[in-house]
Amino acid sequence: MTLATLKEVLQPALQQGYAVGGLVCLGWEDMRAYVAAAEAEKCPVILQAGPGCRAHTPLPVLGKMFRHLAEQASVPVVAHLDHGYTYDECSEALDAGFTSLMFDGSRKPLADNIKETLQIAEMAHNSGISCEGEIGFVGYSGGEASAGTDPAEAARFATETGVDAMAISVGNVHLQQDKEGGLDEPRIAAIQAATGVPLVIHGGSGVPVDQRHRLATTTNICKFNIGTELRMAFGNAMREAVNRDAERFDRVGILKETHDPVMAAARTVLRNLKG
């Protein structure tokens, strides 16, 4: 069994100069492909259940799926709650067997974000698992605008919450389909100078691949969340499988054809984050 906590995979990344992929899951087909990709690349992987995934599949089911894959894997696998918004939701994920809780209080005033994240961190640590928090708001492509992370606030947040990883807003945007964005490297350097906690980039699909690799290997960014580009690989593979035969209807046969393309896309993502 290679089930791991977030801290167990990020601390080696911090010390050795690489990052771990936090791969956003929507169902069995993609999470299985992600673990296969990690095994092929001989690296850890973080399976992430975000709000969209949880709206489709209950947390207790996701916990069993993640843990089953981890038990069969030859590499460390983290079962991670992504964007938990309430104490109860995080508590449910803990009870469902998740090994990492990400509490998102980034829309709240700083004092409230610190207070509520601390509660989640204490709950996680008392149960032997990890906690990720977020300071600064990461916006959405075509939606809410971002609010950049203030380095002094980041230092206070890290110290007062005791989180194992800290998501920051430095030009990254959720749901971005191109890679035109680019991150604010001076702001990253200022945050890193203020705190030694492993840093996390949400909305990693929108970050140029070369910049991802450089930051993964030269900064304290130890986790890149990747969702959109992998969902695009899945959608393209399924569209091709369906369109090949207009009479086709067997979902299992169709979904099987997504495995290799999604695995290949995930391998590319994971390989790029290595030192």
What integer is the mean pLDDT of 247-264?
Answer: 93
Residues with a catalytic annotation lie at: 82
Q: What is the pTM of this model?
A: 0.94
Q: Which among 93, 84, 83, 21 is positioned nearest to 269, based on CA atoms?
A: 21
* Contact by Cβ (8 Å): 93, 63: yes
List, for residues 62-90, the tens digit of each pLDDT value: 999 999 999 999 999 999 999 999 999 99
What integer is the mean pLDDT of 231-249?
Answer: 92
Instruction: Give the pLDDT band (50/70/90) at residue 170.
Output: confident
Spell out the domain ranges in the chain: 3-272
- At 149 the pLDDT is 87
Q: Residue 241 above 80 pLDDT?
A: yes
Q: Going by DSSP bridges, is the β-strand pair 221-226/100-103 parallel, antiparallel, or unpaired?
A: unpaired
What integer is the mean pLDDT of 202-229?
Answer: 93
Average pLDDT, rounded, for the chain: 93
- The better pLDDT of the pair 16, 142 is held by 16
- At 177 the pLDDT is 56
What integer is the mean pLDDT of 170-189?
Answer: 74
Q: Residue 169 above 70 pLDDT?
A: yes
Tell me which architecture the domain covering 3-272 has in CATH.
Alpha-Beta Barrel (3.20)
Structure tokens belonging to residue 114: 């610190």
Q: Is 268 exposed, middle or buried (0-12, 13-18, 19+ CB in 10 A)?
A: middle
What integer is the mean pLDDT of 102-111?
Answer: 95
Instruction: Give the pLDDT band (50/70/90) at residue 193.
Output: very high
